[in-house]
Amino acid sequence: MQDHTVEVDTSASESQFHFADNFNVVVPFVDRHIAEGRGEKVVIRTADGVSVTYAQLAENVNCCGNVLKGLGIEHGDRVLMVVKDCAEFFYLFWGAIKAGFVPVPLNTLLRSSDYQYTVEDSACSALFYSPEFAAEVEPALSAARIKPAHALLTEGSDHALSKLLTEAPTTLDVQPAAATDECFWLYSSGSTGKPKGAVHRHWDMVVTGVGYAQQTLGMREEDVCFSAAKLFFAYGLGNAMSMPLWTGASVVLFGGRPTPDTTFEVIEKFRPSLYFGVPTLYAAQVQALEAAPRDLSSIRLCVSAGEALPPHLFESWKEKTGTIILDGIGSTEALHIFISNQPDNAIPGTSGRLVPGYSAKIIDENGNQVPTGEGGQLYIKGDSTAAYYWNNPEKTAATMVDGWLNTGDTYRSDDNGLFYYEGRSDDMMKVGGIWCSPFEIEATLAEHPAVLEAAVVAREDDDTLVKPEAFLVLKDPSQGGNALTDELVAHCKDKLAKYKYPRWFNYVEELPKTATGKIKRFELRKLNEH
């Protein structure tokens, strides 16, 4: 077997991957496309008119690796990235890996205190940031007790990355690595507590490329991928970079804020075949389509993750677009989706079945596997899961147990191998002594024609007994009031077990969410503490 190669045996009963002793993941994801004749194929198109071929990508990756080496940082050092979705994101990420450094993409929606924390926690040697984020990044750098030796803009100055790339050598020897060596980090969204740096290995992206991109989605070289979910977190990183590069496909990048109008404009202009979104955006897009049709005919398949997809949203999208949404569950720690619906078997209200290469078990509070049909904590196992959390052995020990990853989600499964989401483990509530899933109530509320989005949390009543409380975003905010509340109570009592209906209703302009689209229910719970 030649250096940096990987063989995939799809008939294997155990691990289907066989890696060379010397395996730097940049070779199969970037460099091999030149040898396979894709050099002149456009791999990246951006909404602002930039086009990059596979040959140009490989050259710029080399240039970027040389820029990083020229800064004098050492092998294994962290390179933080606060970078919008653009070609430079690709150059930095793969250039760092090829040169033997560890790229760490960060959420571009964070505030200065968050960046200060990750700068200090990672002890990074370099940080690159897009000019759009300077107002938050630069104060963080000034305040940080541990500062990187180098902090550079991606563009807009004489010492920016874009300028340095033009001056760097275009060839670069690949840094030797083992498939299990540390490759890149992704910080968790931090929906509760401080973000945690999940350490991923060289082989992790291969696992998602084979199991999800090829064997689940059927992604192929002819596909054009557009992800409304951004590159800085695991879902977007796979959708719009690693999986298209694994399959020889191409991507469309949009650096702005994804809204119904902006995403529809990108789809109509660039004609992607695969579209990746989150339930919040799909809900807004469905509402926009009710007002005016758009040309989405290029899309053969849509994907959703980040939050469970309500069944009514699946049906509404299919009715208006003629395409289905494949709902699935993934995580930063697992790198991408590990349970998913399939193109020929999409079942609304379920997360689908296991993606090839993964195992799952559902356990109770004592660690015992529950009978089929009963709910419990979902644990998964697969070769894409992070090796550990950086600088956090306690959380590593609690989350990564004997090769299994505690997802923090409550699930049940059936005899057909389908998995049903019942909420986050820490979002579940006992109402009248019975476990109650907030997602079930939210999905029922969202079925009402007046409701755009719903979030449900636990709240104690005057007797300190837990009951559900609802926070609602309405399609028409002027409808909020006692009459609608009465309607919604009746609707929930008709659709749910009687004890599950919300006792309090709050009509809000928007729901607090993480960058991945997950509802920050802990913020809603805090409102009850004041």
Q: Tell me: the pLDDT tens digits for 44-91?
A: 999 999 999 999 999 999 999 999 999 999 999 999 999 999 999 999
Helices (H), 360-500: 393-399, 438-446, 482-495
Rounded Cα distance, 109 and 93, in Å:
19
Q: Which amino acid is at 173?
A: D
Mean pLDDT confidence for 160-176: 97
Percent of the residues in the chain that have a pLDDT greater than 90, as a whole number = 81
Q: Compute φ and ψ for 188, nearest 5 degrees.
A: -65, 160
Q: Which CATH number covers residue 351?
A: 3.40.50.12780
* 325 is a domain residue: yes
283-320 pLDDT tens trace: 899 999 999 999 999 999 999 998 889 899 999 999 99
CA distance 55 to 63: 12
Q: Which of the two residues, 520 and 426, has the higher pLDDT score?
A: 520
462 confidence band (pLDDT: 50, 70, 90): confident
Q: Pick from 256, 97, 286, 112: which is nearest to 185 by CA?
A: 97
Tokens of 514: 């993480």
Amino acid at 310: P
Residues 165, 63: contact at Cβ < 8 Å? yes
Average pLDDT of the segment spanning 274-282: 93
Do both 301 and 446 map to the same domain? Answer: no
Residue 277 lies in a domain: no
Q: Average pLDDT of 272-289?
A: 94
Domain at 115, CATH number: 3.40.50.980
**Between residues 329 and 2, which one has the greater pLDDT?**
329
Q: Of 393, 424, 455, which closes a domain?
A: 424
99 and 26 co-located in one domain: yes
Do the beta carbons of residue 420 and residue 403 sit within 8 Å?
Answer: no
297 and 413 assigned to the same domain: yes
Question: Is residue 30 within 8 Å of 22, Cβ to Cβ?
Answer: no
- Residue 307: per-residue pLDDT: 84
Taking a C-beta distance cutoff of 8 angstroms, is the pair 471, 527 a contact? no
415 and 436 co-located in one domain:
no
What total of structural domains would you count in the chain? 3
Give yes or no: residues 380 and 448 share one domain. no
Q: What is the reported pLDDT for 192?
A: 47
* Alpha-carbon distances, residue 228 vs 19, 266, 306, 407 (angstroms): 32, 10, 12, 24
Report the percent of the chain where pLDDT is more than 70.
96
- Let me know if residue 211 belongs to a domain: no
Q: Mean pLDDT lowest for which of 193-202, 316-325, 384-393?
A: 193-202
Q: Are 329 and 395 in contact (CB under 8 A)?
A: no
Q: Decide if 179 is inside a domain.
A: yes
Q: Which helix (DSSP H) or strand (DSSP E) does residue 127 occupy?
A: strand 126-129
What is the rounded average pLDDT for all residues in the chain? 93
d(CA 242, CA 213): 9
CA distance 185 to 387: 10
244 belongs to a structural domain? no
**Can you tell me the distance from the alpha carbon of 98 to that of 226, in angstroms, rounded to the nearest whole number?**
26
Residues 189 and 89 in one domain: yes
User: Is residue 481 helix, strand or coil?
Assistant: coil
Task: Return the minimum-mean-pLDDT range out of 173-177, 383-387, 427-431, 439-443.
Answer: 427-431
DSSP state of 180: T
Q: Rounded CA gap, 93 and 87, in Å?
A: 10
DSSP-derived letter for residue 36 is T
Task: Answer yes or no: do 191 and 262 share one domain.
Answer: no
Asked whether residue 26 falls in the same domain as residue 173, the answer is yes
pLDDT at 191 over 80: no
Residue range 257-264: average pLDDT? 96
Please give the pLDDT value at position 2. Answer: 47
User: Is the pLDDT assigned to residue 225 strictly greater than 60?
Assistant: yes
**C-alpha–C-alpha distance, residues 144 and 117, integer Å:** 8
Which of 405, 424, 443 is the last residue in one of the domains?
A: 424
The C-alpha atoms of residue 90 and residue 50 are separated, in whole angstroms, by 13
Reading the block at residue 325, the tokens are: 């949404």
The verdict on residue 136 lying in a domain is yes
pLDDT at 183 over 80: yes
Per-residue pLDDT, averaged over 231-238, amounts to 95
CA 143, CA 138: separation in Å to the nearest integer? 9
State residue 11's pLDDT score.
55
DSSP β-bridge partners for residue 277: 304
Residue 189, pLDDT above cutoff 70? no
pLDDT at 94 over 90: yes
Question: Which neighbouring-strand residues pair with 126?
Answer: 79, 150
Q: Does residue 149 lie in a domain region?
A: yes
Give the structural domain span for 517: 431-529
Domain end residue (candidates: 424, 446, 464):
424
User: What mean pLDDT comes out for the span 190-201?
Assistant: 78
Given this model, what pLDDT does residue 13 score? 44
**pLDDT tens profile 330-352:** 999 999 999 999 999 999 999 99
Closest by CA position to 120, among listed 174, 37, 194: 194
pLDDT attached to residue 429: 81
Find the range with the poorest average confidence among 1-5, 46-50, 170-174. Answer: 1-5
Supply the pLDDT for residue 20: 92
Do 79 and 192 share a domain, yes or no? yes
* Identity of residue 5: T
Inform me whether the pLDDT recorded for 161 exceeds 80: yes
- Rounded CA-CA distance 469/446 in Å is 14
Kindly state whether residue 36 falls inside one of the protein's structural domains. yes
> Which three-class secondary structure string do you get for 44-84?
EEECCCCEEEHHHHHHHHHHHHHHHHHCCCCCCCEEEEECC
**Is there a contact between 146 and 119 (Cβ–Cβ < 8 Å)?**
yes
User: Cα(7)–Cα(18) distance, rounded to whole angstroms?
Assistant: 5
**512 confidence band (pLDDT: 50, 70, 90):** very high
- Do 414 and 372 have their domain in common? yes
Both 365 and 495 in one domain: the answer is no
The CATH number of the domain holding residue 518 is 3.30.300.30
Q: How many residues does the chain have?
A: 530
Instruction: Report the distance separating Cα 202 and Cα 182, nearest Å.
Output: 7
Neighbours of 256 (CB within 10 A): 13
In terms of domains, do 395 and 499 share one?
Answer: no
- What is residue 154's DSSP assignment? S
How far apart (Å, rounded) are the C-alpha atoms in residues 14 and 380? 16
**How would residue 404 be classed by pLDDT, with cut points 50, 70 and 90?**
very high
Band of residue 3 on the pLDDT scale cut at 50, 70, 90: low
